[in-house]
Structure formats: structure tokens, C-alpha cells
Structure 1
Amino acid sequence: MTALDLQQFRVGSLPTVFYIPNYVSTEEEQALLTDLRASKQWRTVSGRRLQNLGGIIHKQGLISAPLPSWLQPLVARLAAETGIYGNVGGDVGQPNHVLVNAYQPGEGILPHEDGPLYHPAVAILGLGAPAVVRFAHKRSNTQADADAAAMAAVGGDAHVYKHQLVASVVCQPRSLLIFRDVAYSDCLHGILEAAVEEIDDSCVNAAQAGVQQQQRLPRGGERISLTVRRVLRTHKLGIRL
């Protein structure tokens, strides 16, 4: 596989956020959706359906399990083409965990960080429907709480604007969002609980995503995202998941 020049896909002022449209074909998308929906690994956590593929994450690392055979070609392709998962013993680092999230229109996820358990790079493949991922600088708890209270007092979304918004990235179906290094360590990322997204001037990939400023973007049907990462510490207990 030929390595991608990620700089061709860089978006916004953060130096390590990349957006690749149509990373998979329509046929590949449908095949992945079929396998994902048929999986028996679905769990409901905090009202959202998800799957942990590759094992179980805990505070000491990953209790590893094999990735499904139908997912392995995609993971290998990501590692080879992006090279974002570092090097292990002189070889290209391989992702070993895929978090699958299912979002219905109006569902989102609060701004969060992935933390030190992972190599500081993430690739998110979105399938089925669009969403907007928002990046915000982390701030001190005192300042963040004060900002949240002020925004809530005027009817704003305290959860999103509790932290300083840096950029928003429209993630169309079949697109790949990559962020690493500074964007991984210094920012939070999240998705609004909105059935319709408002494309505002924080959007850094309007042209690449085929949208315009001030456009209203319906979330449409179910969106399933695959967050592909490499957990740094792994443990094998001989379990099957």
C-alpha cells in the first residue's frame, strides 16, 4: 500500500488535524455496516450503543482479543497508509482496538479526551450519516466552570462552550478524520446533541466536505463511527470476547 501524504489533507489552524473524504467506497461502507450491525458485541452505555473490538480497556491498558476478521483489512490499511500509530521494534505500529459508536439523529458525545493509555493518534471512520466533530482547547477547571455558568445563564450550551472552541470538522459518510499530537493532547473533542447541525465559521473543511457556511446540515439516519487506536500496554488472558 502507498503511504498517504497527510499534509495534503490538513485542515484548520491545528497542525495535526486531517480530513480525508471518501476514504472507503460506498460498497465498502455497506459491507462494514452489514458486519457491524450483525455483530453481537453491542452494548448500551450511558444511553449510547457501542462495541469494543480488540478487547476490553481498563486502567492498566488493554485486555486484548483478536479483531474480527472482516475488520482486519481496514485496520491494516489504516496503519500502512497513514503511519500515525508510531513504530514498534522498527515496524509500523498497528492499531489494536476499535471503539464503535452508534449515533441516532440528535445524539452526541460530550467534549472529552482519550488520555494516556493510547498512542497519541486517532483515526475515526464515519459511516451512514454525517456529524460535526468539534475541537476545544482544554482550560483550567476554574475558568471552564465560570465560562459554563456564564453561557448557561444566557441559554447557551454549557457542555460545548465550557472549553474554548478551536475548530469544527464536518465528517461526511465514508470520510476519515485523523488527529494526533497537539490536537490529541491539548484539545477535547465532541459532538453536539443535535438533529440538525449549523455550519458556522468554526468549520475548517467546508470545501472538502461539500458544505457552505451558515448551511443547515441534517444528521439524517444512524451514524456508526469506528475510532481506531493503539493501546500502549496490552495483556492477554486467553479470553474470547
Structure 2
Amino acid sequence: MASRDAVKLVKVSKVYKMGRVYVVGLRNVSISFAKGEFTSVVGPSGSGKTTMMNLIGGLDRPTTGHIYIDGVDTVYLSDDELTVLRRTKIGFIFQFFNLIPTLNAMENVMLPMALAGRYSREERKRRALMLLRLVGLGHRARHKPDQMSGGERQRVAIARALANNPTIVLADEPTGNLDSKTGRSVVELMQKLNRERGVTFIIVTHDMEVADMTKRIVQVRDGRIVSDDHRR
């Protein structure tokens, strides 16, 4: 039976060793995100929100507890298996876009498909152009990042995040490098993709204006979830 949760954390803790000091990033957190949710995770710097995103995204492993992605317990996956899951089930959007400067928009969107070994080269091109059109940038397919505005670069990054048709998109401060008007338009685009394509979005942000545009706000402080507000 397929899981109704896109993501589920069960008693997850993360402890980092920094020299002789142990730093707790996450403390016994249990939470689930249903498929198709549009959620923000907020909290001050050092609260644990980025730690939680890195664990969900398979970029790090928990010290204790279990993390389920689309029903799969990632604790029992090998590094190679976790890499495959990350490339096929999860899309990432970053504050500073992380586009390859020597590649044009289409090539940047094609890259995750190539890394995952999915589709023929012609199909990658077709999908990349389709996704760029979806985010309103079909006419910019041959342009490189330095030929685009910040908002356009973030739209390319959103198209890239969708390249392998992921179940989940994790966005880490996606508006942090944009002015407020452009940032709002980027979040509105993510809302549209969530509504029309059913992709689960988890947005890590310190910006409450961004959080107010989501349907659920999870607040993290000192490695713990201190509030979980299902808004509408």
C-alpha cells in the first residue's frame, strides 16, 4: 500500500561533533508531510531548520531515528541507494541558485536527468524545454545564467528541481537573494506548480511574508518543533 506521506520523520535526532564539543542540531523530532502539501519551516539561525532539510533531502544522515521518503526508510539505504533516491524523488532549490555558469538554461535543467541516467538526450532536451516553458522561460532556453536576472535564474532553478519529476521539492531560502516583489512572484510560481502538479513543497525560510503564503507553518527552535500551524 502506497504511503500517503511524502515525508515522515520518527524520533529523529542529529548530533554533530565539533572538536571536543557535541552540538545538537535536531532533538527527537517526529513530523510528517502529506503528499501535495505546501509547507514552510521557519526559525532563527541555528534553530535546526536547515539540519532538518538536509536530513530529509538525504544530504546527511540522522544520529538516531527514522526518515521515510515516499514510504522508504532511508536509514537502511546504502550511500549509493540514497543517492539514487535523492536524484529521483527529491528536487532542490537554493538561495544562490547554484546554476552551472558555463551551461545555458536548457543544459542546466537537463543536468539532473543526465546524472540520474534518465531519458535519451533528445528526451532530456524536450523535457527541459517543456519545464522552462512551464516556468515562463521558454524564450530564455539558450541564455546562460549571467544573461538572466535573479528572478529568472531562480525560475531556471525551479525547472531544474522538477527535471526528474520528483515527489518532493525542498527550497532553502528561495527568496533570500531576491527583492520582495521578485521573491513573491517566485513563491506564486511554486504555489501554481504545487496546485497544478501536486508536488510537495517544503520551504525553509526566515521570511514570514513567504511563510504566510504557505498552507502550513512549522516553527523550529533549539532543534525542536515548537509550533505546527495548519492554516487552510
Taking structure 1 as the reference length, what is the TM-score of the superposition?
A: 0.29
Greater helix fraction, Structure 1 or Structure 2: 2
Q: Which has the higher strand share?
A: 1
